[in-house]
A and B are shown apart, each in its own frame.
Chain A
Amino acid sequence: MSKLGTLGARLHRGEIGYDFVGKRKIWYGISILITITAILGLTVRGLNMGIEFQGGAVFTTGKTSVSVAQAETYAQDSSGHDAVVQKLGNGGLRIQVAGIDTDKSDKIKDDLAKDLNVNPESINADLVGPSWGDQIANKAWEGLAIFMVLVVIYLAIAFEWRMAVAALVALIHDITITVGIYALVGFEVTPGTVIGLLTILGYSLYDTVVVFDSLKEQTKDITKQTRYTYSEIADRSINGTLVRSINTTVVALLPVAGLLFIGGGVLGAGMLNDISLSLFVGLAAGAYSSIFIATPLVADLKEREPQMKALRKRVLAKRAQAAAKGEPLESEVSDVMLDDEPEDDGPMVVGPRNQPASRNRGRGRPSGKRR
């Protein structure tokens, strides 16, 4: 812990820290590149839509000694359509037959049971009409759209519209990346994938909101000080919540990884696997976007405000002045920012950094100089 602990401490004090906002253009570039790749992959390769979207059937059998190739022949013979057969972890088979409708299911099921020499009772059949998957997907998109509108309204009220916009961009970014990876790698898209994708929404925003919350708190009285520009404070709040972000992502990914590798490993392909795969990809993308995209974007938008422009001018002027005097202002500045909590603060007071910096500086230090 100690190493990680001190890392947290040093991040907290701003001793170390990555200049997320300053280097944002690099990350924007990387994200744009990934997004373009994703869109290209989507248009060129397209998504490998599962049987649920084409109409067809998935039969899952119990343990059988029939080989995959053999089973494929059987399934094609009895259904008259192409079949895809996969071996499952438990010795059973997963047989996908595209293009059959729900009426033919029983016959094919019985045929398969005969061919594979298993009890028909032990075959699970999942039959879907061609429109069912689309319906699930359409409803999901509908839900996504409604959710986005609501969440933007909420964020605009709870925070401000710039943050809402940034969160939305980050969200779209995550979805694009996840969908793009599915297109590029060729993973199968099933209703399970859709479920996973929808969860990412909540998660991606959850992560973003935590960073924004800290940002909002730290920038509350930003115009009353002249030490930091908005971007710098944004950077600090990202760094300050970095440990949390890492921990949260690790803790969220562990169970998902458990589902993906262990649950999926035992059963082979299936809904568990579909959900956890898209979650895994999406969670990683969500953690990335809340740090590298959402917050820098807020800073970018904020810096366009006249108030923030004025602040930046003041801060820079002050620094120039200090530099001219040859004072080591920089170190003192960060010190004050961290030391500014008056000891007499009641425990319930929110936001120790709400105090105007100038007031603190004066306290017990007439000249503002320390040495």
Chain B
Amino acid sequence: MAVISYRQALHDTLRAEMTRDEKVLLLGEEIGKFEGSYKITAGLLDEFGPKRVRDTPIAENGFAGVGIGAAMLGLRPVVEFMTLNFSVLAFDQIVNHASKIYTMFGGQTAIPIVFRTPGGGGQQLGATHSQNIEVWYAHLPGLKVVAPSNPADAKALLTTSIRDNDPVLFLENLGLYNTKGEVPDDGPEVPIGRAAVAREGTDLTVIAYSRGVNVAVGVADELAKDGVSVEVIDLRSLRPLDRETFCKSVRKTTRAVVMEDDWLSYGVGAEIAASVQEGAFDYLDAPVRRVAAAEISLPYAKPLESAALPGADALRKVIREQLDATGMRSKS
């Protein structure tokens, strides 16, 4: 089992799927000669040629829709948006077309397309380049939205996504590209719509996805030294959402905190908190708490940006408050 980076896992998976299936092609800005802004597609143009690794004009709505049409005729395009922020330019094609065509035409034509894109803040890129707007897409029936938190899941979920016959928004995170982890050569398949228990615990459940899972596991490991046992649920998919897994966990631990990188109001955490309320209300010892980004367009200045983004300090504080409020005093 090799230890590789999240970036490498994505690259290797694209390469493996292109080798396996001639119908897989890549579309996106600067993915060929430039090898991708984040180098996920490095070397693929040389290996597979310009027919299968297509540099597109800067026209997100155009090339996203080109992918949709190609998928309707049986190709399996993987479209890269340089960042999630630019996917907004392709909102019409994703929202009104990719996510609707299968249902709207009575199930007559599938759209096997993957839209890959990194999101996330923390790189001092300013307001328009630092968003976590995944919830806009997770709201849409017809689309599948996945957000792997580690290299093994990145490989497994990208494989599943490329082989899936529905449109998948595949969320990466700038803060994860260099993280490393064990990636099995022939790992188990990870189905879309199934969460994982990233870390087992008995006192409190943190429900997180993508970068937030790593923060949560770090905090959980720390708190273990104080005798607090935190369970971390990695959602892996935002649509469909595996409510059963996290509700089951909360029924066991009786306390729930959501860790999310997006804005609080109407965010992923709102959906999870409502689901926990419905699926585990009788088991809860305290209201569900949410740790999310401050509700402000993200600033460039480092101290401001750091203050706005949810991190380990905020999560630790909220976990302690939850425990204190419910009679399980944690050391500080």
Chain B binds chain A: no
